[in-house]
Structure 1
């Protein structure tokens, strides 16, 4: 298994569909959290704010996994996330219909939950 030093290294290892998806996720993260910094944690892209991990995104064969699932408390968001929750703390977002607006809402909720 490859290990990556930078987000660019990770992106370079992906096929076009995967790379395009992760790049758009990065754009959405930065739209909500412009001070976020992209690093590699757990061998996948991670965006940190204030030196603390905010959100991770890993490209898989049929989906992008986004971690963590934000805490419950926003009924509309909780409902919209339900079809994508796969296991504790993981969202599986299919490439064919990747809900980028939902990614923005997830990042916003993760930021809000930090207080």
Structure 2
């Protein structure tokens, strides 16, 4: 069941290119975790699993940021992003441009890593 006023509302305010790329990340995450619901994590629209934030994807001034609410989850997939110079990884954040989207395997691995943390908590 989806909460009103979260990811869907956020997506409507974005330009088409940003919306398509961000929606793709959320779609892949939802395929991986069909039980995830729309909600908020640290004030950001996010997918939520077991009342814990799973993943947020947002447009920032100079990039699109993926926030799995876990530096460990980001570290777990950093190797999959080697060879993608247009994608940067910092503690807890992956940044990319709409014209250079995240590889699907990296999104799936990121979501799986975060789900494993939530399940272990």
- TM-score, length basis structure 2: 0.75
Distance 1:36 1:70 in 2: 20
Partner residue of 1:111? 115
In structure 2, stretches of 5+ residues that fail to align are none
Q: 1:111 to 1:41 in 2, by over 3 A?
A: closer
Deviation at 1:61, TM superposition (A): 4.5
In structure 1, stretches of 5+ residues that fail to align are none
Contact 1:28–1:100 (Cα < 8 Å) also in 2:
no
The number of residue pairs the alignment matches comes to: 109
Moved over 6 A (4+): none
Greater length-normalized contact order (CA 8 Å, ≥ 6 residues apart):
1
Distance 2:80 2:32 in 1: 19
* Cα RMSD after superposing both structures: 2.4
Partner residue of 1:71? 72
